[in-house]
Amino acid sequence: MNPMLRQVAAGLRVLLVLTVLTGILYPLAVWGVSRLPGLHANAEAVDTTLVAVDREGDQWFHTRPSAATLPASGGSNKGERNADYDTVVAERRATIAHREGVPEAQVPQDAVTASASGLDPHISTAYALLQAPRVARENGLTEDRVRELITEHTDRRAAGLLGEPGVNVTALNRALKAAP
């Protein structure tokens, strides 16, 4: 057999094997694992709090801005030295300061810098507390009750050491909707 044909045949066999492994068997295995008890609810992302859901209106807590364009997730390549991004951040800071009735210097960084994927449901405790007076007023709740809800939905540091505490906005807004 011609050496060139042998290489083409070998390449086609490898392509076929990898297609079956990575295109059929691996997805089926992942799907099968997602059906295990305890994993199914999060795998289907129905009623999950693992994904950010930003709601319209002043009665809700707001998530971080997203660099993603819907419906996909993904980031932008704009960094802190990009003049366009600096302008966007300054506009966001002014908008949030106006909405919350505070000086621009009090707006936390995560309120104005985009989440790369747009999927992270967490904001800083500082950003949640900044929104508390507005949310309390719009929902007819006391500010103390809203702060209690924030505390209840704040995730602590992993193992008491890793990361920063964060407030799950999706879970917090669901609790706010159910609050008396």
The string of pLDDT tens digits covering residues 55-95 is 788 899 998 887 665 445 555 666 667 778 788 889 999 99
Residue whose structure tokens are 């930003």: 54
pTM over 0.75: no
pLDDT number for residue 103: 95
Compute φ and ψ for 167, nearest 5 degrees. -105, 125
Question: Pick from 108, 115, 95: which is nearest to 170 by CA?
Answer: 115
pLDDT score for 148: 94
Write out the two tokens for 3. 């050496």
Structure tokens at 164: 């920063």
What is the number of other CB atoms lying within 10 angstroms of the CB of residue 54?
Answer: 16
Mean pLDDT of the chain: 84
Confidence of residue 8 (pLDDT cuts 50, 70, 90): very high
Name 115's bridge partners: 66
